[in-house]
């Protein structure tokens, strides 16, 4: 997209974020319902078609534009987690799916009629994907029988299909632990699919679930790409996930910092000087802004590499690490600047702080990213067993 198209896109994102403000999100959270009105307006505005080729019913652009929209909406209000999970789930389908899969599972997301979620984490495997136990066994007729459990899966209740990372060959039967992992598209209304909401105490309409597969019969058309090669496809989803999570964290950080700065300019306690004149607030606020801007450079470097079809794993991981840390730092100093009022929901700061803290743990915790950088960038010995 050229600069004029991007400006128009960001203007649209801003209008949607202003329309669906914090009060709307709180109402949806209280009613425990999906942000349907916002989602359909995003579809009508073309946002759900970003990153999707026109041949597949989309509006073009790439991860750069999707990250820009995510960041812009988070600066003003919130951005649906569904935009991130649907966005990341579509990419492997676009790259490795059949024409039928692309038509049914990608083109239909552009209109908002179909929503996708993503299931990789398991209770006993955590971030060690090689040791997942969910298993899809091929049957004599070519179909698969899927059994297993996933946990911390976002928006299951409000999705139509889930991209499942499963083994099609058990770990103890492969010479290379990367082999035997496959990607399956599963209709969430299929017999044998069950879910249970987790008791996560974060005030958001989006929920987290445990997802269970009990002898779920899947046709061969559920398989994405070649059987057993899913691990090689996986990072086509995980790198965009890190980028979109970084964009959301950045937008939240900028929003909180702007609120903190505005409050510090007006609030006076001793004499007539605003608290913003104190270096105890000025310096951490200035540092928070510098770190947000630095993280932002890394994010759009990662997005540009991805859009160019180049390796972006290191940059995507660093972007998520830096953005989540910088976003939390910005929210924390904004909370501190507000004093007791920071915990008043009407000031919105504590809600931003809560969300920013989650971003340090999900979708991948920052210690695992540091492990990745240490091993794959610095060349240090692996610090953990697999």
pLDDT of residue 386: 66
Partners of residue 182 on adjacent β-strands: 166
pLDDT of residue 378: 98
- What are the boundaries of each domain within the chain? 3-113, 117-228, 232-377
pLDDT of residue 269: 87
**232-377 to CATH, choices 1.20.140.10, 3.40.50.300, 3.20.20.150, 3.40.50.620:** 1.20.140.10
pLDDT of residue 7: 95
**What is the band of 201 on the pLDDT scale with cuts at 50, 70, 90?**
confident
Over residues 350-372, the mean pLDDT reads: 95
Tokens of 56: 């597949």
Spatial separation of the C-alpha atoms in residues 126 and 134, rounded to whole Å: 13
pLDDT of residue 340: 96
Superfamily of domain 3-113: Acyl-CoA dehydrogenase/oxidase, N-terminal domain (1.10.540.10)
- Position 17 pLDDT exceeds 70: yes
Burial state string for 76-85 with b = 16 or more CB within 10 A and e = fewer than 16: bbbbbbbbbb
Query: CB count, 10 Å around CB of 318?
Result: 21
Spatial separation of the C-alpha atoms in residues 247 and 249, rounded to whole Å: 5
Residues 6+ apart with CB under 8 A from 147: 134, 135, 137, 213, 214, 215, 216
**117-228 to CATH, choices 1.10.287.1060, 3.40.50.300, 3.30.70.360, 2.40.110.10:** 2.40.110.10
**What is the band of 197 on the pLDDT scale with cuts at 50, 70, 90?**
very high
pLDDT tens figures, 43-75:
999 999 999 999 999 999 999 999 999 999 999
Over residues 275-284, the mean pLDDT reads: 96
Residue 211, by phi and psi: left (phi above 0), alpha (psi -120 to 50) or beta?
beta
For residues 64, 66, 68 and 73, what is the CA-based torsion angle, rounded to 10 degrees? Answer: -170
Q: Which of 14-18, 29-33, 38-42, 325-329 has the lowest mean pLDDT?
A: 29-33
pLDDT tens figures, 182-193:
999 999 999 999
Helix intervals (H) in 77-107? 81-96, 99-102
pLDDT of residue 347: 85
Over residues 367-380, the mean pLDDT reads: 97
pLDDT tens figures, 116-168:
999 999 999 888 899 999 999 999 999 999 999 999 999 999 999 999 999 99
DSSP assigned state of 373? I
Tokens of 368: 């695992």
């Amino acid at each position: 997209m050229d600069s004029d198209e991007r400006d128009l896109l960001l203007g649209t994102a801003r209008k949607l974020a202003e329309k669906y403000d914090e009060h709307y999100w709180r109402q949806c959270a209280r009613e425990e319902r999906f942000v349907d009105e916002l989602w359909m307006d995003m579809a009508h505005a073309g946002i759900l078609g970003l990153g999707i080729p026109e041949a597949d019913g989309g509006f073009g652009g790439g991860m750069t534009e999707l990250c820009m929209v995510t960041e812009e909406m988070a600066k003003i209000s919130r951005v649906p987690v569904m935009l991130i999970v649907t966005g990341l789930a579509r990419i492997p389908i676009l790259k490795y799916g059949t024409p039928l899969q692309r038509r049914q599972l990608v083109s239909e997301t552009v209109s908002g009629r179909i929503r996708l979620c993503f299931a990789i984490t398991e209770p006993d495997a955590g971030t060690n994907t090689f040791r997942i136990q969910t298993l899809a066994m091929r049957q004599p007729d070519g179909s698969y029988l899927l059994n297993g459990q996933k946990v911390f899966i976002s928006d299951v209740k409000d999705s139509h299909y889930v991209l499942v990372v499963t083994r099609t060959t058990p770990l103890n039967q492969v010479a290379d632990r990367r082999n035997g992992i496959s990607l399956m598209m599963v209709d969430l209304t299929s017999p044998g699919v069950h879910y249970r909401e987790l008791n996560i105490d974060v005030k958001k309409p989006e929920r987290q679930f445990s997802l269970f597969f009990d002898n779920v019969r899947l046709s061969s058309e559920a398989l994405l790409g070649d059987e057993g090669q899913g691990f090689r496809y996986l990072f086509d989803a995980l790198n965009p996930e890190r980028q979109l999570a970084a964009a959301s964290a950045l937008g939240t950080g900028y929003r909180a910092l702007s609120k903190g700065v505005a409050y510090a300019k007006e609030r006076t306690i001793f004499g007539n000087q605003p608290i913003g004149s104190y270096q105890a607030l000025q310096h951490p606020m200035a540092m928070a802004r510098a770190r947000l801007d630095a993280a932002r450079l890394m994010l759009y470097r990662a997005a540009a590499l991805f859009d160019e079809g180049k390796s972006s794993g290191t940059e995507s991981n660093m972007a998520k690490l830096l953005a989540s840390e910088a976003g939390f730092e910005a929210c924390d100093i904004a909370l501190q600047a507000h004093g007791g009022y920071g915990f008043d929901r009407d000031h919105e700061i504590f809600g931003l702080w809560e969300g920013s803290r989650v971003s340090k743990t999900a979708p991948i915790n920052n210690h695992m990213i540091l492990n990745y950088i240490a091993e794959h960038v610095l060349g240090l010995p692996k610090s953990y067993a697999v």
